């Protein structure tokens, strides 16, 4: 029963993918969209079933299908593990996935390759489910690479535009850098513990005392690099903003809600391993905090609506990594979930706006949309409040917990994180004000076509907005259902419930105040003074550095891409030709020897006679004299 | 110094000197004549070694037949002019060096082999009279002897064929 | 009967024939005239013959002399054929300079 | 029933094809190719049942040479690879007209015959004969039916021929030396030899030269790209799909067990050489302007990794290498077929002249994409299984080897996707591009299906090769 249901859960989207690939074109756009949505909804229903089951039994479900890869000291099998963590992930992956599929039916309706779009989305859900429910690291790796592939396919969905293709390629390659790290981590774990299976690994690690901490740290670090690639942390974050080249539902699903949280999933999965490597945890915390701040600063000045959201995603992911680094895995998971709600809502809302403006993404050409797009505006507002950490929206709870954990561990990290949250509030409301308030700044033609999006688009927005509002309930500061639910996963005793004192209340107040200050500044600037960001060419000073994302792309390009390219050029022009001419040279030497040898055979009897006499002398000397 | 030794020395000197002269003479006819003298001196050596028959045969074959053949050929080609161009200096030098080299090598081999020269015993047995030679030649060396005759026959036919003017020639 | 070698010594014959042989070699290398080269070859053959006879006496054995007969027969045949070839070369090339005979190269 | 049957079928097939005439040649060749495949499957069945399917008969008395064909799991796997790829390769050629087709197809079967012989031979001299025999057909195939300027082609092909032949001669010398020592060419006698370290080193190097040129391992690879470019698609597939594997197979079968001390002593150097090939090949591939050349360099990178895996001397390394060999065989045939499909339509191999094909032929684009992904070892494709195992074995030797070898994951993705982008994506091409025909599609689907099947379930192959590889490891560790 469990096995077949798991297979249903897993294979439903895959069947949707196959069906859409082979027959999508012939059954028509709507049908292919509905089919795609239904398959994911099936998975969602199954996930709900499993969730109910595990809420009662508290028993993880283990399923073995067949042997996959045979290594000398262990074998990897194709197996699945449905425990609290994976089911939780399944719920919001398939849940948000279904919503976004639904949304896409309307959003992508004008695209000629809609069936392909749904095929890829289904494939993505399939791989994401594989990633989540795999019972060992290698099955996780299948999903890990698979979602990267789908991300590649979807970013480059409009493949006639080579810039989009470049962005897709960049995403895939940067992910692969992380994947190499993940693989190395897997190798080290495999050779240390002779298993890749989570369950066995957990017993092996928690049950043994004298472990080689150095190697565990190296493994943890390698895994962290993998997480960096997938979850867009410094130094591998630059692909995520570029990934906005894909259709907006893709950005919402893959690059905000689900795929980018895979790194957090993996680290939470292996929390017992990371607990043993405090140095790596520190690195994770620092990287997370720095990423959140850097991304937030960049987001301050971006003018592309999706770019702002992308950097905001990077920033929020940074906060999650901060929590991971501090050992507060359940807090990170909590933020993943609330973030999935409000960020998906934000992206879909921005998609709704872009849809209404026929592809315009520049905020400088928007404004005043509040009047025509009421529902979009309202959901967008709720999500913005949530991400800014204003009570009682979900983001407040999760973000507050992260800040609290940071405060407990390290004041500097807390300051950085608070600063990032303040900026978050500012740029989100900057976005909101520029988009929805004041007068419309686009062309008259666009203005005449302005309209609220159809219900297929607004329905997911409403659902997500509701979730973004109430999502915080799953982990209230004093009574956390989530912490209890996840407790069996963690080696350490679950993060002790904060006993609320003045410090905690003060921290909460500071956080809320920070959010309000951010909103206030944005209000003052963009509503009161009605400032519109300058044109690209007029940006100067530090803002220009920020606008150009600290020139990180250019630096990477110069350091890595250009050097590899020039190395390639060097190899092609010099090394290859040198090696080739060496081989030809060998031939030439032989040839030359032949020519020289030919001269000896010149037909002159006189010389032959000389050679003859000398030869006799040599032979006689050798035979009789050389003893 | 015994008489025989003196005779040997004189003969040896004549042999070597005429051999040299035969090589160095620019006129081929002179060379041939010097060579005849050389062969006579070698016949003298044979006589000294008491092989009269061989000495006679040697004179008949070499001085009588072979050298006449040479002279005929030279005259046939009309080569009695001294028109030969010398080889380049380096080649001549090389020839001298080779001469010395082979001389040294051969003598060195001889010395190096440390021969044990015993007493020269004369058993008094007859081993080189015509009678004995004839017996050995026609008993033990019967087959080679016949082959030698075939060789001479073949050589004769070959010579005739070679020196005949080809008819196809223009 | 007193052995002649008691007076002279076999070494002297060896030296003599060695030098004579070398002179032959020298002639072959030194001259360009094919006839002289031939003569030099005769000198070499005679050097060998001389040594044969000397050793025949040394060993008191007739076989050495028998070999000289054969060698003479061969020399006669060789000279006959060789000179015939020379004549025919001379007829074709108008010269018997061995440096001009270079058709042997590939 | 024994393995000589496959050889007989292929040889008879070659003659029959030649006799059949130009019109029927391709079909007759395909028939015999499939017959050989069927025969090898039947034999595999017998083998799995534990029957003895080897063949041994005295051949030459002095020196002592026997006609010995030994089929263990490793050989069977390689024979199956050859037998499976041969009909596919013949089938892929159906869309192209070949002049003097009877000779062309006969040569393909003959080449297949020689390669199967190489994989089966258990006698040094016999093995050497098959090894050299396989060079002759590919020489003619590349020379006569190749692309591009005839003079250039001749230069490249002759270089290849002489280069590989020269390398092999060192192997022959090594075999003769071994014969002096063992008094037999039989592989089990050679395995029993106890040579001194110096002797082993020389023999190892002699073998290495032959194999390094054939595989090719840098810096002996210079023949490769040009020949791949100039040879007809079929020749390139035969070369890259099967012939390269001859070298790798021989490393496992001959080089390592005969000279284990040298292999152990200098292991790191040869692993490093293989990994250098990975990085070098990948980087050089980045700037190739010709599709087939790019694929050639990607092949160089992949075989570099395989070679590195074999020189680890661990069961994982060998197993991963063999798996990767088979996987690479299929992928590379598929990719070269893709380049041939483009060549049929555009009559060019220059990447710059392509682009925007995806809109015109979505089916082709999808299949090409899958092959690209398989080539960069996406999990669930067969290549991943091999690459993972090889990299794992490298990490057992030294983590840095795994990291450096693992750059293939990044660089491979880089050049392959870049190539795919330039060839397939972008604005719709002005030149028409017909989507894949039924024949072409069938061949590609077959390859893709095999890749995915074994990617998910490599157990049959793993079970087949593991016992024989364990035996070889045992031989390597005998001293």
Separation in Å, CA of C59 to nearest CA in chain A:
23
pLDDT of residue B170: 47
Tell me the mean pLDDT in the region B99-116: 84
Cβ distance B108 to A616 less than 8 Å, yes or no, reads no
Whole-angstrom Cα distance, residue D39 to residue D11?
14
pLDDT of residue D13: 94
ipTM: 0.78
Q: What is the DSSP letter of C104?
A: T
Q: Where in chain A are the domains?
A: 298-303+329-547, 555-625
Confidence at A126, pLDDT banded by 50, 70, 90: very high
| CB-facing half-sphere around the CA of B90: CA atoms within 13 A | 2
pLDDT above 90 for C86: no
Give the domain-ending residue among B58, B83, B108: B83
Give the domain-ending residue among B83, B115, B144: B83
Cα–Cα distance list, A158 to A166, A545, C47 (Å): 11, 30, 102
Among B91, B98, B105, the residue with its CB nearest the CB of A621 is B105
pTM recorded for the entire structure? 0.85
- Cβ atoms of residues A422 and A353 within 8 Å: no
Query: How many domains are there within chain B?
Result: 2
Tell me the mean pLDDT in the region C61-79: 90
Whole-angstrom Cα distance, residue A533 to residue A200?
56
Q: Which of C22, C23, C29, C30 to substitute to test the interface with A, most A CBs within 10 Å?
A: C29
pLDDT of residue B76: 81
Q: Which residue of A has its CA nearest to C30?
A: A606
Give the domain-ending residue among B51, B83, B115: B83
Provide the chain C residues 58-77 that lie in CB contact (below 8 A) with chain B.
58, 60-63, 65-66, 68-70, 72-77
Separation in Å, CA of C51 to nearest CA in chain B:
10
Domains of chain C (ranges, CATH numbers):
10-100 (1.10.287.3510)
Whole-angstrom Cα distance, residue D393 to residue D412?
20
Q: Contact partners of A by the rule of 3+ C-beta pairs under 8 A?
A: B, C, D
Tell me the mean pLDDT in the region A17-25: 87
Cβ distance C98 to A613 less than 8 Å, yes or no, reads no
Triad D453, D365, D105: Cα angle to 5°: 70
Instruction: Write down the mean pLDDT value for chain A.
Output: 86
Question: Chain A contacts of B109, Cβ < 8 Å?
Answer: 620, 624-625
Q: Which of A146, A570, A571 to substitute to test the interface with D, most D CBs within 10 Å?
A: A571
- Cβ atoms of residues D233 and D339 within 8 Å: yes
> Nearest-CA neighbor of A208 among A271, A267, A272?
A272
Provide the chain C residues 6-65 that lie in CB contact (below 8 A) with chain B.
6-12, 14-16, 18-27, 29-33, 35-36, 38-40, 42-43, 46, 49-50, 53-54, 56-58, 60-63, 65
Q: What is the pLDDT of residues D33-44, one digit of tens each?
A: 999 999 999 999
Lowest mean pLDDT among A270-279, B84-93, D215-224: B84-93
Cα–Cα distance list, D409 to C26, D336, D376 (Å): 77, 20, 6
Confidence at B75, pLDDT banded by 50, 70, 90: confident
Structure tokens belonging to residue A600: 């000896």
Q: Which of B96, B97, B109 to substitute to test the interface with A, most A CBs within 10 Å?
A: B109
Cβ distance A613 to B98 less than 8 Å, yes or no, reads yes
Q: What is the pLDDT of residues D368-405, one digit of tens each?
A: 999 999 999 998 899 999 999 999 999 999 989 999 99
> Nearest-CA neighbor of A237 among A196, A277, A296, A150?
A296
Cα–Cα distance list, A271 to A128, A208, A224, A330, B36 (Å): 20, 16, 12, 10, 115
Separation in Å, CA of A619 to nearest CA in chain B:
10
Tell me the mean pLDDT in the region A340-366: 86
- Whether B and A touch, i.e. at least 3 CB pairs below 8 A, reads as yes
Query: B59 lies in a domain?
Result: yes
Domain that holds residue B4: 1-83
Cα–Cα distance list, A391 to A298, A400, A470, D34 (Å): 26, 10, 11, 72
Bridge-based pairing of strands A74-82 and A61-71 is: antiparallel
The Cβ of residue A496 has, within 10 Å, a number of other Cβ atoms equal to 7
Query: What's CA A199's distance to the chain center, in Å?
Result: 25
Cβ distance D409 to A183 less than 8 Å, yes or no, reads yes
Residues forming beta bridges with residue D65, ordered by sequence position: D60
Whole-angstrom Cα distance, residue D404 to residue A184?
11
The CATH number given to whatever domain includes residue B23 is: 1.20.120.1200
pLDDT of residue A491: 66
Whole-angstrom Cα distance, residue A224 to residue A190?
16
Share of chain C above pLDDT 90, in %: 37
Q: What is the DSSP letter of C33?
A: B
Cβ distance A183 to D425 less than 8 Å, yes or no, reads no
Whole-angstrom Cα distance, residue A224 to residue A271?
12
Whole-angstrom Cα distance, residue D83 to residue D75?
12
Whole-angstrom Cα distance, residue B28 to residue B36?
12
Dihedral over Cα of A325, A326, A328, A333: its sign:
negative
Tell me the mean pLDDT in the region A4-11: 88
Collect all residues with Cβ–Cβ distance below 8 Å to A605 and sequence separation of at least 6: C98, C99, C101, C102, C104
Q: What is the pLDDT of residues A138-150, one digit of tens each?
A: 999 999 999 999 9
């Amino acid at each position: 029963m469990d096995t077949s249901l798991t297979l249903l859960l897993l294979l439903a989207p895959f069947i949707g993918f196959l069906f859409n690939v082979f027959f999508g074109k012939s059954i028509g756009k709507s049908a292919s969209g509905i089919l795609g949505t239904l398959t994911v909804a099936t998975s969602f229903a199954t996930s709900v079933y499993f969730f109910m089951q595990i809420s009662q039994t508290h028993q993880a479900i283990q399923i073995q299908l067949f042997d996959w890869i045979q290594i000398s000291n262990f074998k990897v099998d194709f197996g699945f593990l449905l425990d609290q963590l994976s089911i939780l992930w399944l719920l919001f992956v398939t849940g948000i996935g279904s919503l976004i599929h639904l949304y896409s039916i309307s959003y992508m309706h004008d695209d000629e390759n809609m069936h392909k779009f749904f095929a890829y989305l289904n494939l993505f859900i399939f791989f994401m489910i594989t990633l989540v429910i795999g019972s060992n690291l290698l099955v996780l790796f299948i999903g890990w690479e698979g979602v990267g592939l789908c991300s590649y396919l979807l970013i480059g969905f409009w493949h006639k535009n080579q810039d989009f293709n470049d962005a897709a390629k960049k995403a895939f390659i940067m992910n692969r850098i992380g994947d190499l790290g993940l693989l190395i981590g897997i190798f080290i774990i495999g050779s240390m513990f002779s298993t890749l299976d989570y369950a066995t690994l957990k017993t092996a690690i928690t049950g043994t005392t004298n472990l080689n901490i150095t190697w565990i740290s190296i493994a943890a670090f390698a895994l962290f690099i993998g997480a960096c690639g997938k979850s867009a942390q410094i130094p591998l974050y630059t692909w995520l903003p570029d990934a906005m080249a894909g259709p907006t539902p893709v950005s919402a699903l893959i690059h905000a809600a689900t795929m980018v949280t895979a790194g957090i999933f993996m680290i939470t999965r292996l929390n017992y391993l990371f607990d043993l490597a405090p140095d790596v945890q520190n690195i994770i915390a620092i990287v997370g905090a720095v990423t959140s701040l850097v991304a937030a600063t960049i987001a301050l000045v971006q003018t592309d609506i999706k770019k702002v959201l992308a950097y905001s995603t990077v920033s929020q992911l940074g906060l999650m990594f901060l929590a991971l680094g501090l050992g507060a895995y359940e807090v990170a998971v909590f933020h993943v979930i609330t973030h999935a709600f409000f960020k998906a809502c934000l992206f879909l809302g921005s998609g709704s706006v872009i849809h209404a403006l026929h592809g315009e993404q520049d905020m400088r050409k928007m404004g005043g949309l509040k009047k025509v797009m009421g529902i979009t505006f309202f959901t967008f507002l709720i999500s913005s409040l949530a991400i800014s950490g204003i009570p009682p929206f979900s983001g407040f709870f999760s973000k507050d917990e992260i800040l609290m954990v940071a405060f407990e561990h390290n004041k500097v990290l807390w300051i950085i994180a608070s600063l990032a949250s303040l900026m978050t509030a500012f740029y989100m409301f900057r976005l909101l004000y520029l988009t929805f308030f004041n007068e419309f700044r686009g062309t008259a033609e666009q203005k005449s076509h302005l309209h609220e999006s159809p219900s297929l688009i607004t329905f997911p927005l409403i659902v997500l907005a509701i979730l973004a509002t109430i999502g915080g309930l799953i982990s209230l500061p004093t009574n956390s259902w989530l912490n209890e639910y996840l407790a069996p996963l963690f080696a350490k005793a679950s993060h002790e419930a904060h006993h609320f004192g003045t410090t905690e209340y003060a921290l909460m107040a500071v956080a809320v105040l920070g959010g309000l200050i951010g909103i206030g500044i944005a209000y003052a600037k963009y509503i009161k003074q009605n400032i519109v960001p300058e044109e690209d060419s007029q940006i100067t000073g530090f803002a220009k550095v920020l606008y150009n994302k600290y020139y990180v792309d250019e630096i990477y390009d110069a350091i890595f891409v250009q050097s590899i390219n020039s190395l390639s050029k060097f190899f092609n022009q010099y090394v290859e030709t040198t090696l080739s001419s060496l081989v030809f040279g060998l031939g030439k030497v032989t040839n030359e020897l032949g020519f020289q040898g030919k001269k000896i055979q010149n037909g002159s009897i006189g010389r032959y006679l000389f050679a003859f006499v000398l030869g006799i002398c040599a032979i006689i000397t050798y035979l009789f004299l050389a003893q | 110094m015994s008489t025989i030794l003196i005779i040997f020395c004189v003969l040896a000197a004549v042999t070597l000197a005429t051999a040299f002269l035969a090589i160095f003479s620019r006129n081929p006819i002179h060379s041939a004549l010097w060579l005849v003298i050389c062969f006579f001196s070698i016949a003298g050596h044979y006589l000294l070694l008491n092989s009269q028959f061989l000495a006679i045969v040697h004179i008949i074959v070499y001085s009588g037949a072979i050298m006449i053949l040479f002279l005929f050929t030279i005259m046939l080609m009309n080569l009695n002019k001294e028109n030969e161009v010398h080889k380049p200096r380096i080649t001549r030098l090389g020839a001298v060096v080779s001469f010395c080299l082979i001389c040294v090598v051969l003598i060195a081999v001889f010395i190096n082999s440390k021969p044990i020269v015993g007493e020269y015993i004369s058993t008094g047995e007859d081993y080189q009279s015509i009678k004995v030679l004839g017996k050995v030649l026609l008993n033990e060396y019967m087959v080679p002897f016949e082959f030698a005759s075939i060789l001479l026959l073949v050589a004769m036919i070959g010579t005739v064929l070679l020196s005949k003017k080809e008819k196809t020639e223009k | 009967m007193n052995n002649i070698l008691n007076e002279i010594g076999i070494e002297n014959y060896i030296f003599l024939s060695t030098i004579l042989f070398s002179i032959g070699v020298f002639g072959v290398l030194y001259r360009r005239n094919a006839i002289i080269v031939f003569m030099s070859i005769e000198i070499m053959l005679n050097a060998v013959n001389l040594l044969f006879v000397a050793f025949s006496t040394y060993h008191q054995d007739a076989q050495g002399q028998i070999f000289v007969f054969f060698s003479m027969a061969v020399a006669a045949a060789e000279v006959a054929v060789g000179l015939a070839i020379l004549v025919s070369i001379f007829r074709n090339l108008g010269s018997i300079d061995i440096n001009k005979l270079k058709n042997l190269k590939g | 029933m024994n393995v000589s049957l496959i050889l007989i079928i292929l040889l008879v097939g070659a003659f029959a094809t030649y006799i059949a005439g130009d019109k029927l040649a391709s079909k007759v060749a395909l028939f015999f190719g499939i017959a050989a495949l069927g025969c090898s499957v039947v034999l595999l069945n017998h083998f799995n049942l534990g029957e003895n399917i080897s063949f041994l008969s005295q051949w030459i008395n002095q020196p002592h040479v026997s006609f010995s064909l030994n089929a263990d799991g490793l050989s069977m796997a390689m024979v199956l690879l050859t037998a499976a790829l041969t009909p596919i390769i013949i089938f892929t050629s159906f869309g192209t007209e070949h002049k003097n087709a009877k000779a062309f197809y006969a040569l393909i079967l003959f080449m297949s015959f020689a390669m199967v012989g190489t994989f089966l031979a258990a006698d040094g001299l016999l093995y050497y004969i098959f090894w050299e025999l396989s060079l002759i057909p590919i020489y003619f195939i590349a020379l006569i039916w190749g692309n591009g300027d005839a003079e250039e082609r001749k230069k490249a092909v002759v270089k290849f021929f002489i280069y590989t032949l020269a390398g092999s001669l060192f192997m022959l010398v090594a075999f003769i030396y071994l014969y002096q020592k063992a008094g037999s060419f039989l592989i089990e006698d050679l395995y029993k030899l106890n040579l001194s370290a110096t002797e082993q080193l020389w023999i190892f190097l002699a073998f290495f030269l032959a194999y390094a040129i054939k595989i090719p391992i840098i810096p002996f690879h210079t023949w490769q790209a040009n020949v791949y470019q100039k040879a007809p698609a079929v020749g390139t597939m035969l070369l890259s799909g099967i012939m390269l594997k001859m070298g790798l197979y021989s490393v496992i079968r001959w080089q390592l067990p005969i000279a284990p001390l040298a292999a152990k002593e200098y292991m790191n150097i040869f692993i490093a050489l293989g990994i250098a090939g990975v990085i070098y090949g990948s980087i050089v591939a980045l700037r190739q302007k010709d599709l087939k050349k790019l694929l050639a360099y990607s092949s160089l990178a992949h075989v570099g990794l395989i070679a590195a895996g074999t020189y680890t001397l661990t069961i994982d390394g060998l197993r991963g290498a063999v798996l990767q060999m088979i996987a690479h065989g299929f992928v590379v045939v598929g990719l070269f077929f893709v380049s041939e499909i483009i060549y049929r339509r555009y009559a060019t191999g220059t990447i710059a002249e392509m682009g925007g094909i995806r809109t015109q032929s979505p089916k082709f684009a999808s299949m090409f994409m899958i092959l690209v992904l398989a080539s960069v070892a996406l999990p669930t494709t067969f290549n991943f299984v091999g690459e993972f195992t090889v990299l794992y074995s490298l990490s057992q030797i030294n983590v840095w080897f795994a990291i450096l070898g693992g750059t293939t994951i990044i660089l491979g993705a880089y050049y392959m996707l870049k190539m795919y982008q330039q060839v397939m994506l972008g604005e719709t091409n002005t030149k028409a591009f017909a989507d894949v025909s039924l024949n072409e599609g069938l061949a590609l689907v077959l390859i893709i299906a095999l890749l995915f099947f074994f990617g998910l379930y490599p157990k049959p192959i793993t079970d087949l090769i593991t016992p024989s590889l364990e035996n070889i490891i045992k031989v390597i560790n005998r001293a």
